[in-house]
Amino acid sequence: MKPGTLIRSIGAAAIAISFGTATAHEQGPEGAKSVSREMAEPDLHETVTPVFQHAIPNVPGRSMIAIVVTYPPSGKSAAHRHAPSAFIYAYVLSGAIRSQVDDQPAKIYHAGEGFYENPGAQHRVSENASANEPASLLAVFIVDPGENPLTIPERK
């Protein structure tokens, strides 16, 4: 199977699973985690909402975890890496996301587009490309079970 076909297949499966799971388990805002630094400033940081987690039955020792990352207008994430075993496929659900992984050039992805991060990659830029509209993406992790944290901020 070609890498592009594999990525599209993972993305399509993850979207179907995450929307079905959110309905089945009634994931609500109480499960969301806002990464706000100070109450006095407007919160321009992402909100992360877990939507799915399950062992992959035909791939021993691997799990699939899906989260929705929501950015307010001008919102962004700090530079980060993910759990060492994590392969991530990100699919833009709404708005436009500017992303830069490793030394690749930054690129803007619009709703319906996606990208991936290999294990060990540095996610240098992850932000809403709009100052006026919110944006969100579905991030699907294929990871060793129990590997935490999933996201590790880069030290400055």
What the chain holds in terms of domains, given with CATH numbers, is: 3-153 (2.60.120.10)
What span, in angstroms and rounded, lies between the C-alpha atoms of 154 and 101? 13
Digit-coded pLDDT (tens) for 63-122: 999 999 999 999 999 999 999 999 999 999 999 999 999 999 999 999 999 999 999 999
Query: Which secondary structure element, helix H or strand E, spans residue 146, and what is its range?
Result: none
pTM: 0.74
What span, in angstroms and rounded, lies between the C-alpha atoms of 134 and 89? 20
Tokens of 133: 């509209």
Let me know: does 141 contact 86? Beta carbons within 8 Å.
Answer: yes
Residue 17: the pLDDT is 41
Q: Catalogue the long-range contacts made by 150-153 (C-beta closer than 8 Å, 24 or more residues apart).
A: 150/65, 150/67, 150/82, 150/83, 150/86, 151/80, 151/81, 151/82, 151/83, 152/80, 152/81, 152/82, 152/83, 153/78, 153/79, 153/80
- Tell me what the pLDDT averaged over the chain comes to: 81
